[in-house]
Amino acid sequence: MFFRLPVRSTQLKNAPIAVHHGVFHKQITLTGAVAFIVAGSIGAGILGIPYAISKVGIIPGIFYILTLGLLMMGLNLLIGELSIATGKPLQLVGFAREYLGVVGEWCMSAIVYATLCGGLIIYIIGEGISLAAIFGGSSFWWSISFFVCGSFFVIRGLRMIKQIEFFLLIGLLVVILSIVGLSANHISFDSFVHVNVSDLLLPYGVILFAFHKTTTIPEAYSLLKDKNRMFKKAIIFSDLIVISLYILFMIVVVGVTGRETTEIATIGLGKQVGHVVLILGNIFAIFAMATSFLVVGVSLKDSLCWDFKIKPAAAALYTLGIPLLIFVLGLRQFISALDIVGGVFISLELLLILLMYWRAKQMKHLEHGTFKLHHTVFLGVILFITFSIGVVYSVVKMF
């Protein structure tokens, strides 16, 4: 899924190019792979983390982000091993077909599409709130305005965003670090005292959404030039960067705004620190969510065309119409949407990935894995327990 091979793989065997999202790309180095994976992580999730952590406290929050981040690093390494074992330019649905058969393929398809659709809803909600914070007016109508503009580029099939992802990442990092630098002097250490363990599971879905990049791992593998030596390093380095960035951003935001942290972190932070941070922070939020909306929207539309042979007009209608309908019908809470997508759909996706990995081990496809991972059974058990508890808690909380 999300791959189209217009030429035979043997034609590309010795060529310095790869096919990604139906487009020919130059193969990338370790630095490019790290940038590609990190850019696939940073988006709406980082904006919701401070609010979720403000409910439990900074100290538990650091432990929370570090623990879930390292667990997700372990899972990403398992996905990396699956990519190497198959040796094919597959996405999650392709892996499910390979190891779980037709039933697994359709289950994974439903979960992946629900996750991507949920992501589009989150970006629509977040863009409206951020635009209203800068320009005033109704966040609902700003969301509709953004949707109309974004839909135009999704229908046109804009691919430029993916091609300049490294430069987008550098820009986002500069803005994030600027916000941190301008806000650091406003941190109140009283914010570090607040601890509320009774809501310890509350941030689960939001943080999991922020770390979710399972589709990016196989994509990076397909583009990486020196796959065998560099792929494992790319996963580890990118995850460590994301973990560090999330912890730093969370400490500064919650340290400044405390229990008054807003659902989109940059809005409350700007009100506390000043107009410059308000504008800079919300420009960052708008830019990050807009690029994510375009990438996810184009990928989802193209996948419907390529994998299910749906006509482009109908694919665009499904891709854009369903998120808009759900938004108009009443799902307009940023954190609630993050929590549902992360806690339910992403948790289910990760459980299926664990099942695929277990099946690949049964089939002895991983016996000579280049990653040389140890204690994968123990890791798998911990991941299974974590995601199972998370999905049960998230579903129960919805009702």
pLDDT band, residue 25 (cuts 50/70/90): low
Residue 5 has pLDDT above 60, yes or no: no
348 phi/psi in degrees, rounded to 5 = -65, -40
Residue 224 or residue 54, greater confidence:
54
- pLDDT tens, residue by residue, 130-175: 999 999 999 999 999 999 999 998 888 766 665 666 676 787 788 8
- pLDDT tens, residue by residue, 275-330: 889 888 888 888 888 888 887 888 788 778 877 788 989 999 999 999 999 999 98
Which residues, other chains included, contact 146 with Cβ-Cβ below 8 Å and sequence gap of 6+?
A: 124, 127, 128, 131, 290, 293
Q: How many other C-beta atoms can be found within 10 angstroms of the C-beta atom of residue 198?
A: 9
Residue 24 or residue 307, greater confidence:
307
- The whole-number pLDDT of residue 3 equals 39
- Find the mean pLDDT for residues 44-67: 94
Crossing angle, helix 165-183 and helix 275-308, to 10 degrees? 150
pLDDT band, residue 237 (cuts 50/70/90): very high
Distance CA 339, CA 345 (A): 10
Residue 19 has pLDDT above 80, yes or no: no
- The whole-number pLDDT of residue 170 equals 80
Residue 393 has pLDDT above 60, yes or no: yes
- The whole-number pLDDT of residue 132 equals 94
- The whole-number pLDDT of residue 27 equals 74
- The whole-number pLDDT of residue 56 equals 94
Distance CA 295, CA 298 (A): 5
- The whole-number pLDDT of residue 385 equals 95
- pLDDT tens, residue by residue, 342-366: 999 999 999 999 999 999 888 887 7
Output b/e per residue, 362-372; b: 16+ Cβ within 10 A. Answer: eeebbeebebe
Handedness of CA 342, 345, 348, 352 (dihedral sign): negative
Alpha helix ranges (H) inside the chain: 9-12, 30-39, 44-54, 58-86, 92-135, 139-156, 160-163, 165-183, 204-211, 216-223, 227-257, 265-273, 275-308, 312-329, 334-340, 347-362, 376-398
- The whole-number pLDDT of residue 249 equals 94
Residue 267 has pLDDT above 80, yes or no: yes
* Residues paired with residue 23 on neighbouring β-strands, in sequence order: 20
- The whole-number pLDDT of residue 69 equals 96
- Find the mean pLDDT for residues 257-265: 93
Residue 18 has pLDDT above 70, yes or no: no
Contact 3, 22 (CB under 8 A): yes
Out of 31-40, 103-112, 310-319, 380-389, least confident range: 31-40
Burial class (CB in 10 A: 0-12, 13-18, 19+), 118: buried
pLDDT band, residue 383 (cuts 50/70/90): very high
pLDDT band, residue 26 (cuts 50/70/90): low
pLDDT band, residue 123 (cuts 50/70/90): very high
pTM: 0.88
In the chain, the domains with their CATH numbers are: 17-398 (1.20.1740.10)
Output b/e per residue, 62-101; b: 16+ Cβ within 10 A. Answer: bebbeebbebbbbbbbbbbbbbbbbeebbbbbbbbbbbbe
Residue 42 has pLDDT above 50, yes or no: yes
What's the mean pLDDT when you consider all of the chain? Answer: 85
